[in-house]
A and B are shown apart, each in its own frame.
Chain A
């Protein structure tokens, strides 16, 4: 063994950087050792997450520098935020941030509409899928594979699938939908149609995630409760309403939280299916504003508002979750 034993470290005369490093590490107490092991992770997160977040916030307090070599203009405090939230900045943005007259054209409203719609339908579909997977039947393994598969499909391919499904002329889908008066002739260039398509695409891909979390909740329900329910004469529906639903509610809320966060930062699927020009989500607006127009200050403010909105949603869920946990206990 090349690794020196504990006794060996104390007794031998061996030295060298490796031995002294080992000896130093063995002599740390638990707290010091814990922080030593966390150092690489914290360093990585500091450089890749925390510094950029603070830097984004700092940038958001400066004006856009549209001329000259420097990336940022003068310090303007919260002016960028005020301008965005009151719709004044919209004239210089690639797409408006907030335009209540055209909700499907503005980033904030389109993101909120997308989030509420997709999380709502994902919860319904995911719950139904979880109920199917909770049954015991032959071929369950393969049904589960089929349901998980969309979740593993790369976002860009998910986007390609829905891009190809809603192409005019080639589709078996667009013509009938158009005849029904639901879609326009070119749904991928129409903002309202595109948001519907994107919600469908999101539900297709990620309700499996919802289903797995809810399934875990379902399987942790004490089965003897159902026997009690049956003896007491409860119908299947009553059993579902009185036993299953309250007991899986915490899992449902957890899954909804994750999907809400995911939906609020939606970007890739939009870029592939209809483009950020048709459906400007918040993340889309950040990218187009910073990449195409180099307006760092405004872009950073949009980015920070997105992060703050997610922070608010997380806090609301945590409070709600604590309530249901208490009610269940």
Chain B
């Protein structure tokens, strides 16, 4: 019983004595305290954004604790779209996310098939090589890529295409960066499809690639969905290349990053608009998390533990 008092209920001495009588009760209470604490700490920042967004700009000062909106001005959520073409920035992020996800799913399917179902010399080293990419800091790639995408690298007298300020300057690095995780998720799922099913499809007359895309991929739909959701969220989250591969105009494919930063830059005193823009920007991923939480959990754990 002595050990019970070591589990930190220190200040609540009266409580501790009842806890010694009934440790289970104490653990249950500790659990509730921890749960409430985590709910508060993770959700409070979103509440703070809401408080700021609803408070009129000129009333934003000296909030007490707990902060409550100082007035009620839902118009900020409309103004966000009027000052800056915020919808375009969000749309650009969506297009980049969907395009990257499509590229990643096709290419990672090919590689996932190879690593999940084929045995061949060089498998281990190649896997490590692909994995290594996700370890390197984006800063180690940025200077050459910047020069490549601004047409400053030439090979045999042909200079590289001008991709800066186009979606390609972001989709290409995103695909390379987020591909490894998808490859590992898909390899796991593809590897679980029994050989018999593939053989049957082949006997029925599909080609090798046909078997992959018509039989193995559909049978691994949960894995494909997981890889897709994680890739999309990663792109929507990304900062480094989103920030450095465009000059920031909405009609030049600048994503959400620039939409938010334009408030921080141009309208640096309009805290209510910054908060409202942030809430608008969070909504799409918040919906994805609520709908696809199982996929996110399984994908992250499977991907990480596999590696």
| CB proximity to B under 8 Å, residues A22-54 | 22, 25-26, 30-31, 33-35, 37-38, 40-42, 44-45, 47-53
| Chain A: interface residue total (CB-CB under 8 A) | 107
Interface stretch (choices B73-81, B140-148, B216-224): B140-148
- Range of interface residues on chain B? 35 or more
Contact with B along A195-206 (1 / 0, CB 8 A): 000000000100
1/0 per residue A116-147: CB within 8 Å of B?
A: 00000000000011011001010001011111
Q: Which residue of B lies closest to A297 (CB)?
A: B143
What residues of A have a CB within 8 angstroms of the CB of B7 in the complex? 236-237
Say if the beta carbon of B184 comes within 8 Å of chain A: no
Contact of A165 with B301 in the complex, beta carbons under 8 Å: no
Which A residue's beta carbon lies closest to that of B175? A44
Contact residue among A50, A71, A155, A258 (Cβ-Cβ distance under 8 Å from B239): A155
Q: Which of A146, A209, A238, A268 contacts B243, CB < 8 Å?
A: A268
Tell whether, in the assembled complex, residue A307 and residue B136 are in contact, meaning their CB atoms are under 8 Å apart: yes
Residue of chain B at shortest CB distance from A23: B207
How many pairs of A and B residues are in contact by the CB < 8 Å rule? 300
Q: Specify the chain B residue showing the minimal Cβ separation from A219.
A: B301
Interchain CB contact under 8 A, A6 and B202:
yes
Judged by a CB distance under 8 angstroms, whether A55 is at the interface is yes
Q: Does A213 lie within 8 Å of B133, measured CB to CB?
A: no
Is A189 located at the chain interface by the 8 A CB criterion? no
List, in ascending order, chain B residues with CB within 8 A of A314's CB: 135
Which residues 7-26 in A have Cβ within 8 Å of B in the complex?
Answer: 7-8, 22, 25-26
Chain A residues with CB under 8 Å of B264's CB are 160, 163, 272
Q: Is the CB of A53 within 8 A of B139?
A: no
Q: How far is the CB of A273 from chain B (nearest CB, A)?
A: 10
In angstroms, Cα B123 to Cα A35, docked, is 10
Per a CB cutoff under 8 Å, which of B34, B209, B290 touches A128? B34
Closest chain A residue to B2, Cβ basis? A235
Interface: A327 (CB within 8 A):
no
Task: Check if B162 is an interface residue, CB within 8 A of chain A.
Answer: no
Query: Residues of B contacting A26 with CB < 8 Å?
Result: 207-208
Chain B binding surface, main DSSP class: helix
B130 to chain A, nearest CB (A): 7
A193 within 8 A of B: no
Question: Once the chains bind, are B256 and A154 in contact (CB under 8 Å)?
Answer: yes
* CB-CB contacts below 8 Å: A133-180 with B: 135, 137, 141, 143-150, 152-157, 160-165, 167, 169-172, 175-176
Q: Mark A285-325, 1 if CB is under 8 A from B, else 0.
A: 01100110000100110111011001100100000000000
| Residues of A contacting B152 in the complex (Cβ-Cβ under 8 angstroms) | 71
A261 smallest CB distance to B (angstroms) = 6
Q: A41-B108, A149-B42 are in contact. Are A303 and B140 (CB under 8 A)?
A: yes
**In the complex, which residues of chain B have a beta carbon less than 8 angstroms from the beta carbon of A148?**
289, 293, 296-297
Q: Is the CB of A164 within 8 A of B275?
A: yes
The reply to whether A145 and B293 form a contact with Cβ atoms under 8 Å apart is: yes
Whether the Cβ atoms of B119 and A30 lie closer than 8 Å is yes
Task: Contact check, B137 vs A265: say whether CB atoms are below 8 A apart.
Answer: yes
Nearest chain B residue, comparing its CB with the CB of A314: B135
* Given A30-B119, A291-B244, also A237-B293 (CB < 8 A): no
Instruction: Scan B64-87; emit 1 where CB is below 8 A from any A CB, else 0.
Output: 111100000000000000000000
CB pair A33 B208 closer than 8 Å: yes
Q: Are B286 and A149 in contact (CB under 8 A)?
A: yes
A212 touches B300 (CB 8 A): yes
Contact A283 B176 (CB under 8 A): no
Contacts of B54 in A (CB 8 A): none
- Chain B residues within an 8 Å CB radius of A56: 140-141, 143-144
- Apart from A160-B277, A235-B3, list 15 A-B contacts with CB within 8 A: A33-B118, A34-B123, A38-B111, A44-B172, A44-B175, A45-B129, A47-B148, A47-B172, A53-B136, A143-B35, A272-B239, A283-B139, A287-B139, A303-B143, A311-B135
Q: Chain B: residues with CB nearer than 8 A to chain A?
A: 1, 3-4, 6-7, 23, 27, 31, 34-35, 38-39, 41-43, 45-46, 48-49, 52, 60-67, 107-108, 110-111, 113-114, 118-121, 123, 126, 129-130, 133, 135-148, 152, 172-173, 175-177, 179, 183, 202, 204-210, 233, 236-240, 243-244, 256-257, 260-261, 264, 271, 274-275, 277-278, 281-282, 285-286, 288-290, 293, 296-297, 300-301, 304-305, 307
The 10 A-B pairs with the shortest beta carbon distances in the complex, nearest first, are A268-B239, A5-B205, A265-B137, A48-B176, A216-B301, A55-B144, A52-B144, A286-B139, A52-B141, A155-B239
